[in-house]
Amino acid sequence: QRFEGWTDQFSCSYLVTQEDKNSPVLSLRGLTINMDISWPLNIIISDDNVKMYNKVFLFLVTLKHSLWCLQSVSLPEIAQLDSQIHKDEMLEEDLSESRSTSGQSSRKLHLENSLVGGHKQHRLQLLRAWLIYFVTLLHGYFMSRVVHSTQLELREGISKATDLDMLIQVHQLYLTKIHDTCFLHPEVKMLKEAINMILGICIEFHTGVVDKTIHSGAITSWEDKYARCHNFLSTMLNE
């Protein structure tokens, strides 16, 4: 077990806000990692450092949660869901038609906005494939090019430090680099929001499949949202 002597110093807490209680999808915003830092380690790792670590931790755990949400949804589940969506939308159509004075126009509008059976399944499979590809690449980048590489730099810096001031400087440089590279700096707020929006689609997608509450409008909305965010990130990061 790595860092066996450190395990007793860490704990996690989860605070659920009223907004999260009313949300149909699981939110990890209230998740916090706590560390019992005693002297002399508290000279190097300050309370502000712990807050920065928490931001990085929350971003990475949300990324991993989104990837799990996609991987846990199987193609047979999507196929079964497609049949359920069709039944629910037909029932909704009949109810809407019975309440409307212009039943024919209501039925026509519903058919225009609805995806035909089988097409929904294909669209959901494609959306899942797009999201898995994007999130897997993102996860691989942050875990290898950010977390792992900066950890190697930290170890090298610590091995070369000759006094306390150098240790503090090396640690601060490491934490700042990993924090900013995870798009947590205020100057790249728009990039972070675009990534969070895509990760949110993954969680909503999983929740919809599990609860069998996905409708044609949600599929189209997710596709449009993903396409906009993907194009925005591609444009900004290639400049």
How buried is 128 (Cβ within 10 angstroms: 0-12 exposed, 13-18 middle, 19+ buried)? buried
Q: And the tokens for 131?
A: 């999201």
Q: Which amino acid is at 105?
A: S
- Residue-averaged pLDDT of the chain: 82
Contact between residue 216 and residue 84 where contact means Cβ atoms under 8 Å apart:
no
Span 190-214, pLDDT tens digits: 999 999 999 999 999 998 888 888 8
pLDDT for residue 132 is more than 90:
yes
Total-model pTM: 0.79
Q: How confident is the model at residue 221 (pLDDT cuts 50, 70, 90)?
A: very high
Instruction: Tell me what percent of the chain is helix, strand and coil, each rounded to the nearest 5.
Output: 75, 5, 20
How buried is 5 (Cβ within 10 angstroms: 0-12 exposed, 13-18 middle, 19+ buried)? exposed
Higher pLDDT, 27 or 234: 234
User: Which DSSP string do the residues of 3-72 spell out, in sequence order?
Assistant: TGGGGGGEEEEE---HHHHH-SS---TTEEEEE---TTGGGTS-HHHHHHHHHHHHHHHHHHHHHHHHHT
Span 139-174, pLDDT tens digits: 999 999 899 999 999 999 999 999 999 999 999 999
Q: How confident is the model at residue 68 (pLDDT cuts 50, 70, 90)?
A: very high
- Cα separation, 120 vs 88, whole angstroms: 13
> Residues 16-41: what's their mean pLDDT?
74
Is the peptide bond preceding residue 76 cis, with omega within 30 degrees of 0?
no
Q: What is residue 39's predicted lDDT score, i.e. its pLDDT?
A: 84
Q: Per DSSP, which regions of the chain are E strands? A: 10-14, 31-35
Measuring CA to CA, which residue among 197, 195, 198 is closest to residue 237?
Answer: 195
